[in-house]
Structure formats: structure tokens, C-alpha cells
Amino acid sequence: MAAASTVESHQPTSTKVDSPPNRGGKGKKKAGNWKPPAFNVSLPTSISVVEGESATLPCGVTHLKGRALSWIRQNDLRVISADHMTFISDDRFKVGGDNVTYWPLEISPALRNDSGAYECQINIRPKLSWTVTLEVKVPSAGFEGPAERYIKTGSNLVLTCTATVLPHASAVVMWFHNGTEISIVSPRGGVSIHTQREGTLLSSQLSVVRAVARDAGNYSCSPDTVNPAYTTVFIAEEVPAAMHHESASWSLRQQDCNIFLGLLVLLLLNVYLTTAQSSSTKGDPATTETSLRSWALKGKVRGNPRPNSPSQHSRFAGALGLCESSR
């Protein structure tokens, strides 16, 4: 499967590289004729597949000159292969390509636990490596919206099922109501199913015109090669407002509490300023400090009980508690 990928450059480190090995016994090659190994940076570094299909992680190298090339799984530093030899008991892994300039790691079939980063490494000093990230998507289906739906009798029922499927899977989605397959040509009439697919992404929409009580119950969608998804529909003459506006009500409660807390702050600030102004007219700063301390400790300004008196304190605490519980 051709996967969308992001190409990143992995240039060899500029540190001095070992001279090529003298394998033929014909004397050392001239330094001017030798080039260090280099990766083909035009290859993708990100591969995405659906679980169950094959994954090919590319690695292209030039001027390898007999150097050993290894594939290493980064999450556990497991050496998977060296050249064309594999060192892992899982026979889903193998090295393909021409073993000259192209050394791809092939995983067939790819499983969800195979997701992660893999390193194509050349045995040279300093180490040269090329990292490819594999994403294995799990085929799955689900309904858009809540798991339970409430609609009013006579309204149109619309359910949308989305799924990630295998590339070879068909675009057919089977729909069921209380365990019975739904047909668009049933005597009930007013039923339509529209399905579309883009790559491995599938979307299917079921529409039921003028739903009535018998249309309530359990609905499921079953795409090819994917486990079904389920939802429950309730149909009534009158749908409780809470079912439609629960989130809106929560937002309003939050606004009410914010307004209450704002007014409380303004009230306390007004009391503070009134007390300070009253004391400052006497021209004695010490008197101002004494008055404020008296207000805080005794809870009285001009003979009126303040929130730190037992009765008033409990009222404010209760109001604040209600606001906290609604957050």
C-alpha cells in the first residue's frame, strides 16, 4: 500500500569516516577513489498501513562497499537483521530488495504492536542511520455522536457510521435494526443508505424519514472486515429538554455562578472602601487599621452582620458550594 509520507534528510555525520576495508588483497585503494556510504534521502521516513496488510520500510544506500547493514527496532533496541540475515524468531520480518543499494524491511502482515520507529544502520564509525516510523492503524468502526440518541416522533432519524478498513475491503456497509438487516426496499419505506470511501476511510449514513415508535431500538453498522459498531435510539412523543440541552444548561449554570461570584467580590470591595473612607475622615491612619481589623474579626460594619457571622457565613458557603458542584 502506498502511504503518505514525510521525507526527512538523514545526512551522514561529517566526522572522519573509516577507510574502506581491503577485502581483495590487492592493496589499499587510493583515497581519492573512495566515497563514504550515503542514504537515499528521497525515500519516505513515515509509513502508515492498516493492521493485516504488509508494511515495507525503505532503506536505500549508495557506496556501501561491503559494510554490514542492520535493521534495529528502537523501542526495545532489538537487532532484527544484519545484511540479508534475520535475527528475530518472528518470521513476519524479512529484508527484501536487491541487497546492493536497496535494503527494505518487510513486515507481513503488520500488527498493531509493530507501530514505532525502526533504524536502518550502517556499521561504520561514526555510525550512520536512517529512521523510518511505522504506524499500524487498527480497523475499527464507530458512530458519530453519543451512544444513545433521543428524537421526537415524526422527526427524521440520521445515523452516521465511520470506519477504517483494509485496502482490499469492499465499500459495502450492512445496517441492522434490533438484529434484522435493514433494506432500503422494505415495506416501511423512507429508508436510504449512502456510503462513500476514500482510501481506507469509510463513511456510511442511514436515514429514516418520519421515525415512529417501532423505529426505536438498537442499531448497528457492519463494514467489511471490521467489527460492528452499535448505538441505541429512543423515540418519544415528547423528548425531555434535558436530553437536548444538557450541555447548554451546564453552561448557563456556570454563567450564573460567575455572575454571583462577581457580585460577591464587588459587595466586599464596597464594604472595604466604605469602612476605609469612614475611618480616614477622622484623619487617623491607626483608626482606619483598627476599624478594618474590627470588621474582619467581629463581622460588623455600622451594626450590620457581615458574612463571617455564623448565619451569613453558612449562606455564602452554601452558595459557593453550589457553584463549585456545577463546575
List pLDDT tens digits, range 160-182. Answer: 999 998 888 899 999 999 999 99
Least confident of 142-156, 254-268, 294-308: 294-308
- Give the CB-side neighbour count of residue 156, counting CA atoms within 13 A: 9
Name which residue leads in pLDDT, 220 or 325. 220
Q: Which residues make up the CATH 2.60.40.10 domain(s) of the chain? A: 34-137, 140-236
The 10 Å Cβ neighbour count of residue 154 is: 11
The separation between CA 150 and the C-alpha centre of its own chain, rounded to angstroms, equals 28
Longest dimension (CA), the chain: 110
pLDDT reported for residue 293: 47
pLDDT reported for residue 66: 84
> What single DSSP character describes residue 30?
P
CB neighbours of 177 closer than 8 A, spacing ≥ 6?
215, 217, 218, 219
Which of helix, strand or coil describes residue 145? coil
pTM of the model: 0.53
Residues 96-121 pLDDT 10s = 988 789 999 999 999 999 999 999 99
Q: Is 85 exposed, middle or buried (0-12, 13-18, 19+ CB in 10 A)?
A: exposed
pLDDT reported for residue 277: 66
What cell was used for 106? 518487510
Average pLDDT over the chain, rounded to an integer: 77
Which of helix, strand or coil describes residue 264? helix
Question: Domain 140-236, CATH 3.50.30.50 — does that match?
Answer: no
Percent of the chain with pLDDT over 90: 50
Q: Is 21 exposed, middle or buried (0-12, 13-18, 19+ CB in 10 A)?
A: exposed
CB neighbours of 14 closer than 8 A, spacing ≥ 6?
none
What cell was used for 287? 483608626
Residue 297 confidence (pLDDT) above 60: no
**pLDDT level of residue 275 (50, 70, 90 thresholds):** low
Residue 139 confidence (pLDDT) above 70: yes
Residues 7-30 pLDDT 10s = 344 444 333 344 444 444 444 445
Phi and psi at residue 238, to the nearest 5°: -130, 125
pLDDT reported for residue 167: 80
**Distance in angstroms (rounded) separating the CA atoms of residues 254 and 309:** 27
CB neighbours of 222 closer than 8 A, spacing ≥ 6?
141, 173, 174, 175, 176, 228
**Distance in angstroms (rounded) separating the CA atoms of residues 160 and 202:** 11
pLDDT reported for residue 39: 95
pLDDT reported for residue 288: 45
Residues 305-317 pLDDT 10s = 444 444 444 444 4
pLDDT reported for residue 87: 93
pLDDT reported for residue 284: 52
Q: What is the CATH number of domain 34-137?
A: 2.60.40.10
Residues 227-267 pLDDT 10s = 999 999 999 987 766 555 443 333 344 455 566 667 777 77
pLDDT reported for residue 65: 85
**Distance in angstroms (rounded) separating the CA atoms of residues 184 and 205:** 12
